Structure 1
């Protein structure tokens, strides 16, 4: 049924969003003394991120730039430079923190890659995502790694065409309905949705009504090898 199995990276293979939540909290605590009471600082930060996606893309650097902008805007330019330096230090710390794999990831990838052509498709900043892949200890399981600016139908179609992959024989495994499942099933592929308990506010999407038979939801990544094996019986 499937010739190629692809995996998302952030919050599918390793922890990611929990770190963003940590630095969001630090941002709120840093900026709060300079912002009028009653202002929803986190909501303002998310709105700034949303506005800047087209210009900055995704990832820690984008988050950092939006954080600096939001801090200056929310404080009407009154936040001291040493507080901005604190935010900048957090961004650098975030960029250099080690990759933390979910339990059992290496075993899952070893089993899947022994049976299928296995690739990684992740979006975000090229330098940061490349560093994470290279230091993760699992890159040898992938026949190909693709780091993209966006995960939409056009991007998936382009990647599959460039790798000579028939969408009907392609299966994408990931934690994001918006980025990993909906665009893949829209071009004729299959999605395996493995939700993580924390999801970025800008990555929310409803479960599909069309092509709903083109995806399955599994509770944990550890169930993926067995599910794939059942599809090939």
Structure 2
């Protein structure tokens, strides 16, 4: 691997614990509530566009998603959306913010295996309070040297994090389920990016795989990380 690795970063949502499936379930409810006004495919397209527009204003996470649902509901009903529909969308957002944390397979065992030999850093984006809640409920907090909850994941973000908590990106690895956020920017920063596909991934997190990079790796489950390490 060239420079010996000293620091490993982990994404949180859909890498350490389930997350996107709660968004998918809420979208089903959203479509049911607006079924009298538009078909599901058109509604989901409008919602995705609203999310894309709103990221610079609301950031990533459930609160921004809830506001985007409400905005989309107003748009597709031309301002006639019933108040009880808005109320149900707000309730759905609150339910998402309270969903229990369920770890993905091999997570605790893999972190326990790595923590004696590497500095482990959690790097996640989204709503601060929600991410802190999920981390606390996960029981994984003490396994990490550092926690970074960021507004976005860019090469500059990874440069700062791995400089601060490690020996720079060149001696670091980032592991996650988003090609766009976890893998590509880490490789651009000079580190290793490990992609773990998840069954459900938000459309805005898709990006082409940097297959021509020797620092790109793909595994099918977290326990396979050990096979990439010397």
Q: TM-score, normalised by structure 2?
A: 0.95
Per the TM alignment, residue 137 of structure 1 is displaced from its structure 2 partner at its CA by: 0.9
The 1-side partners of 2:41 and 2:22 are apart by 24
The 2-side partners of 1:115 and 1:150 are apart by 28
Aligned equivalent of 1:216: 217
Per the TM alignment, residue 135 of structure 1 is displaced from its structure 2 partner at its CA by: 1.1
Q: Does 1:30 align with 2:30?
A: no
Aligned equivalent of 1:16: 19
Aligned equivalent of 1:83: 85
Aligned equivalent of 2:188: 186
Closer/same/farther in 2, CA of residues 96 and 166 from structure 1, 3 Å limit: same
The 2-side partners of 1:56 and 1:139 are apart by 26
Aligned equivalent of 1:136: 138
User: 1:114-147, CA deviations, whole angstroms, 9 ceiling, x for partnerless residues?
Assistant: 2211110001111110111111111111010100
The 1-side partners of 2:40 and 2:104 are apart by 38
The 2-side partners of 1:198 and 1:39 are apart by 17
Aligned equivalent of 2:100: 98
User: 1:17-42, CA deviations, whole angstroms, 9 ceiling, x for partnerless residues?
Assistant: 11110001111111121x14687111
The 1-side partners of 2:177 and 2:86 are apart by 33
| Residues 10 and 174 in structure 2, CA contact (< 8 A), matched pair in contact too | yes
- Is there any run of 5+ residues in structure 1 with no aligned partner, and where? none
Per the TM alignment, residue 186 of structure 1 is displaced from its structure 2 partner at its CA by: 0.5
User: 1:156-184, CA deviations, whole angstroms, 9 ceiling, x for partnerless residues?
Assistant: 11222333532111011111111011000
The 1-side partners of 2:198 and 2:110 are apart by 17
Q: TM-score, normalised by structure 1?
A: 0.93
The 3-state SS of whatever aligns with 1:119 is: strand
User: Which of 109, 112, 121 is the aligned partner of 2:111?
Assistant: 109
The 2-side partners of 1:43 and 1:65 are apart by 16
- Is there any run of 5+ residues in structure 2 with no aligned partner, and where? none
List structure 1 runs of 4+ shifted beyond 3 angstroms.
36-39
Per the TM alignment, residue 209 of structure 1 is displaced from its structure 2 partner at its CA by: 5.1
User: Which of 126, 129, 133 is the aligned partner of 1:127?
Assistant: 129
User: 1:52-92, CA deviations, whole angstroms, 9 ceiling, x for partnerless residues?
Assistant: 01001101011001111111111111111011101110000
Aligned equivalent of 1:73: 75
User: Which of 38, 52, 55 is the aligned partner of 2:54?
Assistant: 52
Q: What value does the CA root-mean-square deviation take over the aligned residues?
A: 1.4
Aligned equivalent of 1:4: 7
How many corresponding residue pairs? 227
The 2-side partners of 1:208 and 1:153 are apart by 14
